[in-house]
Amino acid sequence: MADVIQLLPDHVANQIAAGEVVQRPASVVKELLENAIDARATEIKLVVKDAGKTLVQVIDNGVGMSVTDARLSFERHATSKIRSAEDLFQLHTKGFRGEALASIAAIAHVEMNTCQEEDEVGTLLRVEGGKVTNEEVVVTPKGTSIAVKNLFFNIPARRNFLKSDTVELRHILDEFHRVVLAHPSIHFMMYNNGNEIFNLPAGNYRQRIVHVMGGKTNEKLVPVEETTEVLKITGFVIKPEYAKKSKSEQFFFVNNRFIKSGYLHHAVMASYEGILKDQMQPGYFLYLDVNPASIDINIHPTKTEIKFDDEHTLYALLKSAVKHSLGQFNVAPILDFDRDPSLDTPYTMQGQRASYPTIEVDANFNPFEDEPKVSSGSKGSSNYMKNHLKSPSWESLYTDVDTSDFSSQQSFSSLEMEPEEVIGSLFESSDESVQQNTQSYQLNKKYIVTHIKSGMVIIDQQRAHQRVLYEHYLQLITGGHAASQQLLFPLDIAYTVNERAILEVLQERLVASGFILEFMDEVLRITGVPLEVTEREVYMIIQQLISDFENDLPESGYSQTDMLVKSMAKSLAIKTGQQLTNDEQEGLVHKLFACEEPTMSPFQKTTFIQLTIADIDKKFN
C-alpha cells in the first residue's frame, strides 16, 4: 500500500495557521496594536476602511526595525521576545510566538514601512499571500507603519463569512477598547473611513475609562485597590444602580493583558450579591498584577484565556477587595443606623437638667354649666377658662340654620350616600376563596387556569403575554400604524460608542414602533414613546435591546425588526410572580387565542398545555 501521509506546502500550512489567529479584521487590529505596544511606542494611530475589509493600518512611533528584522518578522515562529522555553513563563510583552505577521501576510496584501531612530532611511516591504513582492529603501518617519489590504483575498470562502460593516466595526471597537484601556500611558487615535472615532490622550486609568466609555461614566466608578504578596488589584467597579443587562462594561486585565475568566467574574458577582436586580450585570475595570511565573498565557490562540496556579486564592482576594470597596464608599448596605439629627440636644440646652412638668386639676370644673365656676385656687386653669370658655351655649350654634328644607315629604332614603370602598385588608384572602366563582384563576402567580368544554387549559402568563406583545408590535412596525405619546420632560440615556452603533442601525425601526429620539452628545434623547410604554420602562427596553444585539446584529431588515420586537416583548411582558386581577386574566386569555400562533412564545417555548376530562379521569384510575 502506498504512503498517504505527506508534508503540507508552506502556503497551505500558513493559511491553516492564519485561520487560528485571524478570524476577522478585528483579529488583525489586535495583533498589530500589540506589536506597536511591544515596540515601546508612545503614540499609535489606527486607520480602518470598510470595517477593515479594505484596509487596516497601524502607525506607531516605536523603535522600528532594521532591514533584516523586517524580512524575518514575516517568517513563522520568528520572534525577539523569547530565546528558550523558560522565557514562556517570564513574559512581559504581548506577542511572543511569531505567528501574527506571518499569518496575516498569508491571507492579505501587506505593506510595511519601518525605520530606526539612528538610521537616515528606512525599509519598504510588500508581501502578498506570504511572498515578498517588493523591497525598497525609502524615507519614512521613525517607527513602523503596517497596512493590511484586501483581507482574505485568496480565501474567498472566508471573506464571504464576514458580517456586515456595522458588525465588523463593532468587533474592531471591542478589540480597540481592550488594548487602550490596558495602556492609558499611550496616546491612541482611531479613524474609520476618514472620520475620527477616538483621540485618547495619555493619562491615568480613570481618565482613559472616562474617555472611552463617555463622560457620564466618571460618576459611576468606585475605586478598588488591594495589595498582597500574591496579587495586586487596582481599578474600578460600577455602582449597582448603573448595572446593565449587557456585559459591555466588564474588563479583566492581567499584567496589562485583557483576559476572559468566568471564574473571576463569579467572584465579582458574589461581591454584588444582594444589591443587584435580577438579570443585571455589574460593570468593572479591574487590573490584576501577578507574578508571570504563576500564569500560563499560551493556552489559547488569541491569548485571551490564562491558566492560574492558585485560582482559589485569587478568587478570595478579588471578592474581598470588591466587597470592601462597595462598603467603604457606602455603595453596599452595611451595619449602620441612620441617625435623625432633629433628635439631637440643641447646643444651647446641653448640660442643663430637664424640668419636670406640673399638673394642676380644677376640682370645681363642670363642663355642663353655661359659665363654669372657676375656683380661685387654680391659677392656670382660671386663665384658660377666662380666655377660651366664653363661648355661647350649644343651642345657639344652630339658630341660623334653615330647617325648612328638611320637609316631612323627604326621607333619608332619597339621599345619595358615598359608597364605602374597601382599600385593603389586614389578612389576605386565599386565591381559592376569591376566585372560586370566576371563569379563570391564577396559580402560584405564574399560571392562569381556565376551563374549556373538553377540560381545562393551563397558561404560562409570561410566555402568553410575550406572544401577544410580539404580534402586536410586529403588526405596528410592519404596518406603519404606531402612535407616539410625547413625554413631558425628555429622557436622556447615556451610551458608549458600541451602543450608539447598535442604536443607529435600529433607529428607523425604533421610530416605526413609536419612539421619537435623537442622538445628542454622549446621550440618546427620547422625547416620545409608544402608547403602551411608560416612561419608567424606556430605559429597560433600551438596555434589553443592546443586550440582545450585543453579540450579533442581523444584516437583513426583517431579522432586525424581528429581534427588536422580541426584545420589546421580553421587556414589557408580565413577569412570573405578578398578581393579576380576574379581568386581566381573562383579557390575556382572549388576546392569546386571538393570536395567529398562540401555542408558542416568540422564543419557541410552549405557552399553554391542555388537560382533557379523559386525562383527568386517568389520574383517578
Q: Are residues 565 and 467 in the same domain?
A: yes
Residue 601: which pLDDT band, with cuts at 50, 70 and 90?
very high
Asked whether residue 288 carries a pLDDT value surpassing 90, the answer given is yes
Identify whether 384 is part of a domain: no
Q: Are residues 85 and 19 in the same domain?
A: yes
Q: Measure CA of the first residue to CA of the last residue in the chain; give whole Å.
A: 69
The stretch 147-166 carries a mean pLDDT of 87
Give φ, ψ of 552 to 5 degrees.
Answer: -155, 135
Q: Are residues 276 and 227 in the same domain?
A: yes
Q: Which of 296, 328, 360 is the last residue of a domain?
A: 328
Encode pLDDT of 56-73 as tens digits: 999 999 999 999 888 888
pLDDT at 86: 58
**Prediction pTM value:** 0.70
pLDDT at 268: 93
Structure-model confidence comparison of residues 157 and 231, the more confident one: 231
pLDDT at 477: 82
pLDDT at 64: 92
Identify whether 245 is part of a domain: yes
Q: What's the longest Cα–Cα distance across the chain?
A: 137
Whether residue 168 contacts residue 25, with contact meaning beta carbons closer than 8 Å, is answered with yes
The stretch 128-155 carries a mean pLDDT of 91
Identify whether 477 is part of a domain: yes
Q: What is the CATH number of the domain that holds 234?
A: 3.30.230.10
Domains contained in the chain, number = 3
Asked whether residue 496 carries a pLDDT value surpassing 50, the answer given is yes
Asked whether residue 228 carries a pLDDT value surpassing 70, the answer given is yes
Residue 124: which pLDDT band, with cuts at 50, 70 and 90?
very high
Q: Which of 277, 310, 328 is the last residue of a domain?
A: 328
Neighbour count for residue 601 (Cβ, 10 Å):
23
Residue 478: which pLDDT band, with cuts at 50, 70 and 90?
confident
Q: Are residues 170 and 32 in the same domain?
A: yes
Identify whether 475 is part of a domain: yes
Residue 491: strand pairing partners: 526
Distance CA 124, CA 611 (A): 77
Q: Which of 176, 200, 224 is the last residue of a domain?
A: 200
pLDDT at 188: 96
Encode pLDDT of 232-273 as tens digits: 999 999 998 888 888 889 999 999 989 988 899 999 999 998
Whether residue 184 contacts residue 202, with contact meaning beta carbons closer than 8 Å, is answered with yes
Residue 143: strand pairing partners: 115
- Say which DSSP state 357 is in: P
Q: Are residues 144 and 262 in the same domain?
A: no
Domain that holds residue 516: 442-609
Q: Are residues 577 and 469 in the same domain?
A: yes
Q: What are the residue ranges of helices labelled H in 333-412?
A: 379-388
Q: Are residues 315 and 210 in the same domain?
A: yes
The stretch 468-482 carries a mean pLDDT of 83
Q: Are residues 182 and 278 in the same domain?
A: no
Identify whether 521 is part of a domain: yes
Residue 106: which pLDDT band, with cuts at 50, 70 and 90?
confident
Asked whether residue 28 carries a pLDDT value surpassing 90, the answer given is yes
Identify whether 120 is part of a domain: yes
pLDDT at 121: 92
pLDDT at 434: 36
Q: What is the CATH number of the domain that holds 102?
A: 3.30.565.10
Q: Are residues 165 and 130 in the same domain?
A: yes
Identify whether 396 is part of a domain: no
Residue 417: which pLDDT band, with cuts at 50, 70 and 90?
low
Distance of CA 11 to the CA centre of its chain: 44
Q: Are residues 298 and 222 in the same domain?
A: yes
Distance CA 27, CA 20 (A): 10
Q: Are residues 47 and 177 in the same domain?
A: yes
Q: Which three cell numbers stand for residue 554?
A: 442581523
Residue 11: which pLDDT band, with cuts at 50, 70 and 90?
low
pLDDT at 422: 47
pLDDT at 338: 53
Distance CA 151, CA 466 (A): 43
Identify whether 344 is part of a domain: no
Number of H helices, E strands in the chain: 17, 22
Distance CA 344, CA 4 (A): 93
Residue 469: which pLDDT band, with cuts at 50, 70 and 90?
very high
Q: Up-side HSE of residue 325: CA atoms within 13 Å toward CB? A: 24
Q: What is the CATH number of the domain that holds 497?
A: 3.30.1370.100
Asked whether residue 329 carries a pLDDT value surpassing 80, the answer given is no
Q: Are residues 284 and 306 in the same domain?
A: yes
Mean pLDDT of the chain: 81
